[in-house]
Amino acid sequence: MMNPRVVPYALGLLFIMAIPYSGAAAESPAPPAPTPVAYELTPEARLADYLRGRFPCGILRVEATDDQIIVELDTGREKGELFLCEVPIFESVTELKPSLELVPLNGRRGRVRLEAPRRRPVGQGFHDRLFSRWVIARKSGASLEAASHARYPDAVKPRADLPEERPISKKGLGGFSAGRSPLSDLDDLGIHSVTVNIVLDGLLRLSPGDGRLPFQFEGRTYFADQGQVAGLDKTMLEAARRHVIVSAIILVNRAAGIADHALAKALPHPDAIEGHFAMPNVNDPEGWQDYAAGLDFLASRYGRADGRYGRIHHWIMHNEVDAGWEWTNAGHKSVLLFMDLYQKSMRTAYYVARQYDAHAKVFISLTHFWNWTPDKHFYLPKEMLDLLLDFSRAEGDFDWAIAQHPYPQSLAKPRVWEDEQVDFTFNTPLITFKNIEVLDAWVRQPRAFYHGRPRVIHLTEQGLNSPDYSERSLQDQAAGMAYAWKKIERLNSIEAFDYHNWVDNRGEGGLRIGLRRFPDDRDDPLGKKPIWQVYQKLETPEEDQACEFAMPILNIHDWRQVCHRGRVGPGP
């Protein structure tokens, strides 16, 4: 298990230096200075030095065609024997193994273009080099060392030309499935985006059996549970019929929760010791391949040109990864080592999906914490996003976006306008509905742009609680919805608002954050709460009339009063 201590980014090689001898016997010769001892850097220190380091050479561009990988590189003024080295995604770029594939540059200098077959034979199958980085390396004794940052493919040719689809409006629902009811809410509420939870190990099987659908990945045969597939088909088709944008939330159980022993051994990260779900084991060849195979089955089935089974448009990678100890556990890891795993998971899903859909995005999932957390095991979303930018700058940018959950400061209290642990700086402790403008300002920083444009934001899990079903509680819940909406509707970076929860759920610790009452409510099972009526009228000509009741509750006379009009500053 890695040391969880955070190592400063500036840490480099440390030496014990000789201290000059100053004894009384001047005539005695000074003892020889000891040879400096170089301490081996920790994995974290090596990764930090690599990310922030400067190299004499560079990989300029990597492109994946149907059958080739094309690499453009520049050796700069570097001399000596250089190699182009392939580093599969599950291998470490800071500890280059001599067994990695090497292409000698044979003295070629300056800008060089090289081509390689896209698929490299491995055993009875192959490795698709779409899932590899490319780095310029030089030999240092018997070992290899990087002379450039590594780079993933900048572009991949999709197998079909799927049209780009975006939500017609911002209104959405979280945790959608065709098995939940009533489906008529999608039409009655005017829903245009949903999230769908997919537990990958519930779908994937490693061996044949009754009710298992075979499929191929990298020359190996896998199997999908047909019962799970049938349920997903129904969900995706219900969304497709309504032109609803689907974002799949990809989850992996910890080993203890996976019945298939072979899959349990490989798929989840072996250090995942607590929490609800695990990080996939992306640093292991077998674990990574199982993970990528499951994603490829989903992308190929729900990324068909004919739309036969519906479509997954975007991919939310795991859940609330800043609270990864609970929702994406990888054991005790520093934020840097955790993000190294996580960005590999993101890139795996990205390259899988982009083979089928040139418009697919991958999303990082974050809580409403920002630059503070109440739990020693949790990470800071602000720091995680900065690290994701570092990985993107070092190894090639990709189209990732943000799935944030801007719950109120207290999930139990719907009066979000009274939140106190928020401000309008980039160092705010929390990002809730009250200061959601901070997230909009963050993506509008040029350093955070993707191809010159702000990254997309989806609000994919957030709701407002009614502590009970009293008139006061229900009115506060509905007023919180009106308040939140009047703020986010003005922010163009926010493309979707997927309300959670659709229906009050007994399994949410006593919360009543649904648009409808509990299905087993004694007085009005599944009854529409006032917030349902408000949500229905949003983005219609009746919006202002439906929201007017909230003004005296908020003590305002104009909706412009709830919107932050000033500058979002850097903070102390």
Bridge partners for 64 per DSSP = 69, 156
Q: Are residue 327 and residue 244 in the same domain, yes or no?
A: yes
In a domain, 328, yes or no: yes
For residue 387, tell me if it sits in a domain.
Answer: no
Residues 124, 171, single domain; the answer is: no
In a domain, 435, yes or no: no
Tell me, yes or no, whether 151 and 197 share the same domain: no
Alpha helix (H) residue ranges in 377-460: 381-395, 437-443
CATH number, residue 199:
3.20.20.80
Name the domain boundary from 355, 380, 405. 380
Rounded to 10 deg, the angle between the 335-354 and 285-301 helix axes is 40
Q: Name the domain boundary from 112, 128, 156.
A: 156
Q: How far apart are CA 172 and CA 191, in angstroms?
A: 5
**What are the beta bridge partners of residue 115?**
70
- Residues 128, 246, single domain; the answer is no
C-alpha–C-alpha distance, residues 255 and 345, integer Å = 18
Residue whose token pair is 């859909």 = 357
* Residues 355 and 234 placed together within one structural domain of the fold: yes
pLDDT recorded at residue 431: 98
Same domain? For 208 and 321 the reply is: yes
Who contacts 150 (Cβ-Cβ below 8 Å, separation ≥6)? 59, 87, 93, 133, 134, 135, 394, 395
Is 562 contained in some domain? no
Q: Do 251 and 349 sit in the same domain of this protein?
A: yes
Q: What is the pLDDT of residue 34?
A: 45
Both 121 and 203 in a single domain?
A: no
Sheet of 132-140: strand order equals 102-104, 82-88, 132-140, 143-146
| Same-domain check for residues 119 and 257 | no
- Do 301 and 255 share a domain, yes or no? yes
Domain end point (choices 89, 123, 156): 156
Residues spanned by the domain of 61: 48-156
pLDDT value at residue 31: 43
User: What residue type is 165 in one-letter code?
Assistant: E
Could you tell me if residue 341 is inside a domain? Answer: yes
pLDDT in tens, 17-45: 222 222 333 333 344 444 444 456 899 99
The predicted pLDDT at position 538 comes to: 98
Report the pLDDT value the prediction gives residue 569, as an integer from 0 to 100: 83
pLDDT at residue 41, as a whole number: 83
Profile the chain (572 residues) by mean pLDDT over runs of 10 residues. Answer: 29 24 33 47 94 96 97 93 96 93 90 96 95 94 92 94 95 94 92 98 96 97 98 98 98 95 96 96 98 98 97 98 98 98 98 98 98 96 98 98 98 98 97 98 97 98 97 98 97 97 94 96 96 98 98 97 92 72
Q: Does the residue 526 lie in any domain?
A: no
Nearest-angstrom CA–CA distance, 118 and 131: 10
Q: Is residue 396 part of a domain?
A: no
Task: Convert the pLDDT of each residue in 407-464 to its tens digit.
Answer: 999 999 999 999 999 999 999 999 999 999 999 999 999 999 999 999 999 999 999 9
pLDDT at 28: 34
Q: Give yes or no for a contact between 518 and 506, defined as CB atoms under 8 angstroms apart.
A: yes
Task: Tell whether 554 is covered by a domain.
Answer: no
Indicate if 146 and 172 belong to the same structural domain: no
Whether 94 and 151 map to the same domain: the answer is: yes
